[in-house]
Chains A and B, each alone.
Chain A
Amino acid sequence: MTRMTYLEAAVQAIREEMRIDSRVFVMGEDLQSGVWGDFGLEEFGPERVRNTPICEAGFFGAGVGAALTGMHPVIDNQCSTFLYSAMDQIVSQVAKSRYMFGGQSSVPLLIRATVMYGFSAAAHHSDRPWGLFAQVPGLTIVVPSTPYDVKGLIRSAIRSRNPVLCFEELALKGQEGEVPEEHYTVPIGLAEVKRAGCDLTIVALGASTHSSLAAASELEAEGLSAEVVDLRTVVPLDRRTILASVAKTGRLVVVDPAPGMCSVASEVAASVAENAFEKLKGPIIRVTAPDLPVPFSPDLERLLYPTPQTIAGAARKLFRDIRSGSVRRRSIAGSALE
């Protein structure tokens, strides 16, 4: 085992794949500068560690063309909102080419996008669009929450021969964790129970997994045992793991820092309501951002995203006695938005 940061683990996965497969190359803005990570310009040369101009539609489409003709490109995108500049390429070409051409080709393309929020980066730099892209059939979407998961998922993504969007939150990039030295992968489409519990299930993704784990510790002190399920993959969604957890606990809180409307949280909630209704002891609560663009002022932005306190507050609501309004075990603390 080696201790390394999330960013180091991600870049290491890419460099290792580039070493073993000459079809893998990486392109994006500023890549050769090393600012976004050391992709091995000296080792692999400027053809395979390729700087692009600021032209997302252009180089995302070039990624598709290269993928259709035998290469395995990795596109490095530094801010999730810049993906929108390539929206037509992502939706019309990346996602649909294999299907609409009847399986004649595949698109072995990995798109890595940094997701920053909570950094006063304001409306054009702070989106969390995994739910938006989840509405595009043909895309695989992963949201790793640890160095172990990001390295394993990136490796799986590059080898999958399908187009994958990997969202990596800026808040996680410096987080350290244990990563095996030996070869391993993390399967796409498999969620992970990061903390076992029996009173309620908290489903979360990315950095919200850590907030949920913190909430679970808080709840533990109050005698509530929360199971935390880290999605790891948004599409394909691991409904089996989610449903197995809810079958055990009977209560569900879903945490997603994206706006709530048509969110990944909504899909999880709907899936559980549809498939495990008889197991539920109460309503499903989603803890999401409100449906707003992100304001600049830190005093406002701080109100938007799930925190350990708001997640724990939502969990306590599930145990509140409906008639008396008191929580079965303890009185409620409440969230900033109540």
Chain B
Amino acid sequence: MELQLGQRDSERERPKDLLHEMLRRMLRIRVFEERVWTMVYEGEINAGHLAMGQEAEIVGACMALRNDDYMTGNHRSHGHPIGKGAELAPLMAELRGRTTGVCRGKGGSMHLAVFSRGSLGESGIVGSLMPVAVGAGLSARLQGTDQVCLCFFGDGAANCGPFHESLNLAAIWKLPVIFLCENNGYAMFTPYSQTTSVAHVAQRAAAYDIPGVIVDGQDVLAVYDTVSSAVTRARAGGGPTLIEAKTYRYGEHAEYPGAEKIPRYRPEEEMRSWRQRDPIEIFSTWLQGTGNLLPEQFENIRACVQVEVERAVLFARDSPPPQPHELMEDLLT
């Protein structure tokens, strides 16, 4: 099977509400993550793996799903539930370990889950949720629904055992799983070129005889259209797809006090050139250029998002911490 290039579908009808919601969710991720960044360095949150720069591939993919479709995340995973429409306040409360958090303070930054939005959770172990995504796809098949599961993972996970086992299982059982590789060029502090045997993760789809597609991860519409095709195919019983979104993270692998002392391992020129392809700027320029967004609408959306994030911070600060008796709760049903 030949490697495909995912692109924007220029013929596609795009309702303005949908476009504005895409922009809103991308801004939500950006503002949320930047706010978490300040809270980390002011000592209010202990650490976080932040996704500034990756908003387009997150939102483009998530918004190609229905609410009842499933999703699994990884450790850089604040953006995933936001992309799927989760409210910000309970997410922020979870980062502060409050009992009003999505996981009642039991999960934290790397274990957010919003089951009401189809988010089946996140994992601090690279690649660990890929088989779980396969299971969600298996569940849809056994229950006879047309739900799909979107499985986010990074370029680092593409070299782990579970990646290979998961793709093979989804392929032989023809499961409705969309494997989305967020290739940001680095597995922790090591560049892709040193760790991976192929130029593109998507090439590995051929090893499992499933479609492999590369897409510009900074172009939200290209990602949306590419994932939408894979979703349509999966719902119709066509099986899994491996999509590789080329993207970049502006922040560190992990942000925590002291992270600034980590020796530089990414060239300045590389970081600068990715910043010139900022996904929010690309999208808002397109929106305004095609008459889908007025400048004042953009400002309005951004201002609302900023208020939303600040409200989330206040909600988290004002929420009670969990009580000692809650320690023993939720282990078993």
A-facing residues in B171-190 (Cβ within 8 Å): 172
Complex: A47 Cα to B140 Cα, angstroms:
12
Contact of B125 among A53, A66, A92 (CB under 8 A): A92
Task: Return chain B residues, CB-CB under 8 Å to A89.
Answer: 128, 131-132
Does chain A have a CB within 8 A of B135? yes
Contact A66 B136 (CB under 8 A): yes
B-facing residues in A37-59 (Cβ within 8 Å): 47-48, 52-53, 55, 57-59
B17 to chain A, nearest CB (A): 29
- Chain B interface size band reads 35 or more
Contact of A104 among B72, B113, B123, B138 (CB under 8 A): B113
Task: Return chain B residues, CB-CB under 8 Å to A137.
Answer: 331
Contact A66 B138 (CB under 8 A): yes
Does chain A have a CB within 8 A of B200? no
Contact of A100 among B106, B132, B136, B329 (CB under 8 A): B106
Contact B333 A60 (CB under 8 A): no
Does chain A have a CB within 8 A of B286? no
Q: Which residue of chain B has the shortest Cβ distance to A108 in the bound complex?
A: B333
- Among listed A68-76, A117-125, A169-177, A281-289, interface-contacting one: A68-76
Contact of B142 among A47, A68, A100 (CB under 8 A): A47
Does chain A have a CB within 8 A of B242? no
Contact B143 A71 (CB under 8 A): yes
Contact A65 B143 (CB under 8 A): no
Complex: A324 Cα to B135 Cα, angstroms:
65
A-facing residues in B294-324 (Cβ within 8 Å): none
- Chain A interface size band reads 35 or more
Contact B168 A55 (CB under 8 A): yes
Task: Return chain B residues, CB-CB under 8 Å to A93.
Answer: 123, 128-129, 132
Mask: chain B, 181-218; 1 = CB below 8 Å from A; 0 = not: 00000000000000000000000000000000000000
A17 to chain B, nearest CB (A): 15
A275 to chain B, nearest CB (A): 19
Does chain A have a CB within 8 A of B260? no
Contact of A101 among B106, B133, B140, B332 (CB under 8 A): B106
A140 to chain B, nearest CB (A): 7
Task: Return chain B residues, CB-CB under 8 Å to A59.
Answer: 131, 165, 169
Q: Which residue of chain A has the shortest Cβ distance to B167 in the bound complex?
A: A58
Contact A68 B135 (CB under 8 A): yes
Contact A103 B330 (CB under 8 A): yes
Does chain B have a CB within 8 A of A211? no
Complex: A59 Cα to B140 Cα, angstroms:
16
Contact A58 B165 (CB under 8 A): yes
Given contacts A58-B162, A88-B128, A138-B331, contact A102 B101 (CB under 8 A): yes
Does chain A have a CB within 8 A of B279? no
Task: Return chain B residues, CB-CB under 8 Å to A67.
Answer: 135
Task: Return chain A residues, CB-CB under 8 Å to B124.
Answer: 92
Contact B330 A102 (CB under 8 A): yes
Complex: A140 Cα to B333 Cα, angstroms:
12
Contact B130 A104 (CB under 8 A): no
Task: Return chain B residues, CB-CB under 8 Å to A19.
Answer: none
Task: Return chain B residues, CB-CB under 8 Å to A97.
Answer: 121
Does chain A have a CB within 8 A of B102? yes
Task: Return chain B residues, CB-CB under 8 Å to A99.
Answer: 106, 330-331
Complex: A105 Cα to B113 Cα, angstroms:
10
Does chain B have a CB within 8 A of A144? no
Complex: A71 Cα to B168 Cα, angstroms:
21
Name the residue in A61, A64, A68, A103 with the highest tally of chain B Cβ atoms < 10 Å from its Cβ.
A61
Does chain A have a CB within 8 A of B52? no
Does chain A have a CB within 8 A of B70? yes
Contact B131 A60 (CB under 8 A): yes
Mask: chain B, 272-295; 1 = CB below 8 Å from A; 0 = not: 000000000000000000000000
B-facing residues in A129-181 (Cβ within 8 Å): 137-138, 140, 160-162
Mask: chain A, 72-89; 1 = CB below 8 Å from B; 0 = not: 010000000000000011
B99 to chain A, nearest CB (A): 9
Mask: chain A, 90-120; 1 = CB below 8 Å from B; 0 = not: 0011000111111111100000000000000
Mask: chain B, 55-88; 1 = CB below 8 Å from A; 0 = not: 0000000000000001010000000000000000
Given contacts A57-B161, A58-B168, A68-B120, contact A102 B103 (CB under 8 A): yes
Contact A103 B135 (CB under 8 A): no
Given contacts A53-B169, A69-B70, A98-B332, contact A62 B105 (CB under 8 A): no
| 6 A-B pairs with the lowest CB-CB distances in the bound complex, closest first | A65-B135, A61-B131, A58-B165, A102-B104, A102-B103, A103-B330
Residue contacts A-B, CB under 8 angstroms, 30 given: A52-B169, A53-B169, A55-B169, A58-B134, A58-B168, A59-B165, A61-B128, A61-B130, A61-B131, A61-B132, A61-B135, A61-B166, A62-B132, A62-B134, A62-B138, A62-B169, A65-B120, A65-B137, A69-B135, A71-B138, A88-B162, A89-B132, A92-B123, A93-B129, A98-B332, A103-B333, A104-B102, A105-B120, A106-B332, A137-B331
List residues of A whose CB falls within 8 A of some B CB.
25, 47-48, 52-53, 55, 57-71, 73, 88-89, 92-93, 97-106, 137-138, 140, 160-162
Query: Knowing that A70-B139, A70-B143 are A-B contacts, what are 16 other residue pairs whose CB atoms are under 8 Å apart, sorted by A's residue number?
Result: A58-B134, A61-B134, A61-B165, A62-B134, A65-B136, A66-B142, A92-B128, A93-B132, A98-B332, A99-B330, A102-B104, A102-B106, A102-B107, A103-B329, A104-B113, A140-B332
